[in-house]
A = this chain, B = another copy of it.
Amino acid sequence: MIRKKCEVLSSRRAGVYHTLTLVAPEIAEVARPGQFVQIAVPEGREFLLRRPFSIHEASRRGGWAGTLELAFLGTGPGTTWLTQVQPHDFLDVIGPLGKPFPYPRQLTNCLLVGGGYGAAPLYFLAKELNARQKRVDMIIGARDQDRVFKQVEAKRLSVSIGITTEDGSLGDRGRVTDILPGMVSRTGAEVVYACGPNAMLRAVAAYCADHGIPCQVAVEELMACGLGVCWTCTVPVIRRDGSGWDNLRTCVEGPVFNGARVWWEKWLREPSVPTQTPPHGFRMEEAGVGGEPWPEHE
């Protein structure tokens, strides 16, 4: 965790998304896919808290050495302000934060599933997986064509890609989960990584759990600090031994969690939650929990 005033190298539009490139060698050097940064907002505004953003790219070598790239949507006041920052402005950045996506020990076929801006961290992940001689396939989902994030780059980084849009303006009409089973069998996926709206993650995790496919999800929860001190960002996660559950901090123990261990029903507050006790352990077994396919986080 490093705090730096980082110069803005460039600020671009990518369809409906904005991308920001920051000069941040210390952070880029140690950043890993799935981690995020906290960006301070300007003083004198009525909103005060830092905004968290996944690391879309971290270039350690080559022309862009020592830079971080973020991708985001201008929605509320914070992100809208961020769309307006200019090259040579300086941003107060803290990162890298959180636990990265773990890489599989032996398994090789990786399917990356991204929804909306949630796809952002998957490109960084794909590169790292390729560098480890893993097979990478991708599914990119979005509401419509304009929201499909960097499909060209996705194609470049993966053996095959599937695209879904809710309005059918690009790829298949529907949701990523509609084409997930087909992609899994076609690509022989052994491991699934997902990032996007929590509802999507839940569906992907459920499918994987039911089919015994190890699945890592990068979730979002409201964060006041991003540093591990405020406990606002928790997600209910079932213990590895199934003995119970804990509210874990997205900013420290996450944002990447084992999809089979997140207690989705409780977290996303289905009125239909029947009980306060976690779902029985079988899912965890199938998901290979206990003998997990990746090394535990240090």
Binding site for B on A (CB under 8 A): 44-47, 77
Cβ distance A86 to chain B, nearest Cβ, rounded Å:
14
Question: Assembly of this chain: how many copies?
Answer: 2
Q: Looking across the interface, which residue of chain B has its beta carbon closest to that of A45?
A: B44
Q: How far is the CA of A45 from the CA of B44 in the complex (A)?
A: 6
CA distance A45 to B46 in the complex (A): 5
Specify which chain B residues have a CB less than 8 angstroms from the CB of A44 in the assembled complex: 45-47, 77
How distant is the Cα of A46 from the Cα of B45 in the complex, in angstroms?
Answer: 5
A47 to B44, CA, bound (A): 8
7 contacts between A and B (CB under 8 A): A44-B45, A44-B46, A44-B47, A44-B77, A45-B45, A45-B46, A46-B46
A80 (CB) vs chain B CBs: closest residue: B44
Bound-state CA distance A44–B43 (Å) is: 11
Which residues of chain B come closer than 8 Å to A77, judged between CB atoms? 44
A77 to B46 CA separation, bound complex (whole angstroms): 13
Q: What is the CB-to-nearest-CB distance from A85 to chain B, in angstroms, rounded to a whole number?
A: 15
A47 to B43, CA, bound (A): 11
- Complex Cα–Cα for A78 and B47 (A): 17
A45: chain B residues at CB < 8 Å are 44-46
